Amino acid sequence: MAVPIILIVALIAGIISIAMAMYFRYLVLKEDPGNERMQEVAGYIEEGAKTYLKVQYKILGIFVAVLAVAMLFLPSPFEESYTYTRLVAGALNWEQMVAYIIGAIGSMFAGWLGMYVGVKANTRAAQGCTVSTKKGFDIAFFGGTVMGLAVVGVALIGVSTLYWIVPDPMIVLGFSFGASSVALFMKCGGGIYTKTADVGADLVGKAEYDLPEDDPRNPATIADNVGDNVGDIAGMGSDLFDSYVASIIAAMILAATLPSFVDLVLEMDEYARFVFTVFPVVLCGVGLIASLLGIYIIKWKGSDDPGKALNTGTYLSTILFAGLAALFTLIMVVGLTGEQAIMLWKLCGCAVIGLFAGIVLGFTSDYFTRADRKPTRKMAEAAQEGHAVVILSGFSYGLLSVVPPAIGIIFAMIFAYLLGGVFGVAIAAVGMLAIVGTIVSNDAYGPIVDNARAIAEQGDLGDDIIRTADHLDSAGNTAKAITKGFAIGAANLTVLALMFSFATEANDINPGTIDVMDLLTLNVLIGAFIGVVVPALFSALLVMAVQRNAAKMVDEIRRQFEENPKILKGEEAADFSRTIDIATKGSLRELIIPSIISIVIPITVGILFGVAALGAFLVGAILSGFVFAIFMSNSGGAWDNAKKWIEDGNLGGKGTDVHKASITGDTVGDPFKDTAGPSINTLLVVMSLTASIFLGFLMLFSGGAGLLVF
């Protein structure tokens, strides 16, 4: 009975999470959707988002089906025990394949539910701004909360149920792989879509025709707002769902396979085994409870300052998690020996360390991107010197912003390792994502208020209401920057944990396969070098995809303005369907190659250069990916807020040469912060999971040494 008693906490928490998501959905949908024009604009946005997801899910269905069949015939690096020491070949891999399909469906469902409420909440948040800032904030935040709770609920229900039925972390690994493969499609595709429209709208509407933000005469306006939903709600939700599940699974695998736990865990009584293996799941259930309490405290206290309210929720959830984690650890140590109990307390400390490291990373991003902070102000002032200087300033501050998060990750790793070894590092990753319900809620709030601002302008609500919506939108930009900081840090710790579990699995199958990754060994050095290059290649493909599609968008907007002058006069409506079609088809076409290389390159490295080289490949990708992700996310966010600060009337305001220079910075930063930067997180997780899922297959090539041995 030990398994159900422990898992029941996470399972019940997951069910409560879904129930609360539905409750918040009800609260949002009962609000006033506004006037007829507002509902019309919101209808365009909703229809465009649904059309995009429908087409994307069809493609995803084919991709998932093909990969599921491939997984069915893979040799599996495990057996029905806690040591996974024997390679099982010739048997169909049914359990892992089914888990993979469930993970893929769960990720798609979470993304769809969050986006569905997001496109309903936007017009209601705009109407709420006519009442008060607090009213608009409440509607947008609770709309975002649906996404946050859906992500956590589906993840906890999936992981705990699968492990309850089949108590084998290697089976549940398939669930994580399904979530990751879907997340890569969602994040890359959504990111390309939203920036195709955003860049096109800015380059023509703002820079050439001096149109206001979200002007209804701009043909790309609706496509831009659709992109906010498919990229920042469905895409980012799937991204964090992916990292969240992967962190849990990596820790569970390490608990069951690490040699350092053989004496302490593997050879003791059944209850103690399950305590350590399921501890990551329980921590996430505790994190969800903390997130729910934090959400309700925000609702109860309220605030006319949206930024303060969002930050308060994050702080409260963090403190509540630390207290609740200690409480549940106190309960779980009952029945353990003294040495086992001490280790569990140390792991609890690792989780708290990870979460506080996430706070440091998130608020470092906040410092480097907020409009009232020095870096963003300096970038805005650089616009006075011209377009090139804006780019130089943003590039420099983006690189500088890599340093504090790196220091935070290093300290988190050191302290976690001192407390719990490699398993402690994995638990730190779980801790960093424990309050993901709050983090995703804050992130999804951003695109909802962005849409609300557009609907307020297109619904003719007046300058005062637009300024109120702008106030909410500015807080949303900061919230998204903090979320990206969390996501990047958590993804890196998660992938490190996955890399450790990969090495442990390889040694279990063939002892000595990865004892030391010696860079003086040519195969290992080649693997590391390829790993360093892949995030650069991946980023280049995504930015180039935005550039190509944005060029088509620019041509289409110019065509409509030139062929139909009545659009600019406001006498006829622009053709929104054409721009939506360009963004949809272009993004789905362009995401195929980046998605394929994330799976093909790790497998190719393993086949040619061996499993040890593949481990070094993962290390190289983690390190360079961290730099690229932080740099692009923070520089892009700062360029965006520098432009908004100028548009608020500073340094001459809208229409000036300073403003136009800031638009150039924002345009460059758009694919950085919303396409390439955050997608690297998913790339790293997918490549790491691919290495583990296909490990049995790779071991068939010279016992894991590869075809090319130098």
pLDDT tens figures, 377-399: 999 999 999 899 999 999 999 99
In a domain, 700, yes or no: yes
In a domain, 709, yes or no: no
Q: What is the pLDDT of residue 51?
A: 83
Q: What is the pLDDT of residue 79?
A: 44
Contact 82, 273 (CB under 8 A): yes
In a domain, 710, yes or no: no
In a domain, 48, yes or no: yes
In a domain, 101, yes or no: yes
Q: Per the confidence metrics, is the pTM higher than 0.95? A: no
DSSP annotation of 265 reads I
Q: How far apart are CA 151 and CA 107, in angstroms?
A: 8
- How many angstroms from the chain centroid is the CA of residue 377? 27
For 434-480, what is the HEC assignment? CCHHHHHHHHHHHHHHHHHHHHHHHCCCCHHHHHHHHHHHHHHHHHH
Average pLDDT over residues 348-375: 85
Average pLDDT, the chain: 83
Domain span at residue 696 reads: 2-704
The secondary structure element, H or E, covering residue 628 is: helix 611-647
Model confidence at 516: pLDDT above 70 = no
- 520: how many CB neighbours lie within 10 A of its CB? 6
Model confidence at 256: pLDDT above 80 = no
Q: Phi then psi for 88, rounded to 5 degrees?
A: -95, 110
Please state the domain count of the chain: 1
pLDDT tens, position by position, 292-313: 888 877 777 656 677 777 777 7
Average pLDDT over residues 104-109: 86
In a domain, 513, yes or no: yes
Q: What is the pLDDT of residue 692?
A: 84
In a domain, 320, yes or no: yes
In a domain, 411, yes or no: yes
- 339: how many CB neighbours lie within 10 A of its CB? 11
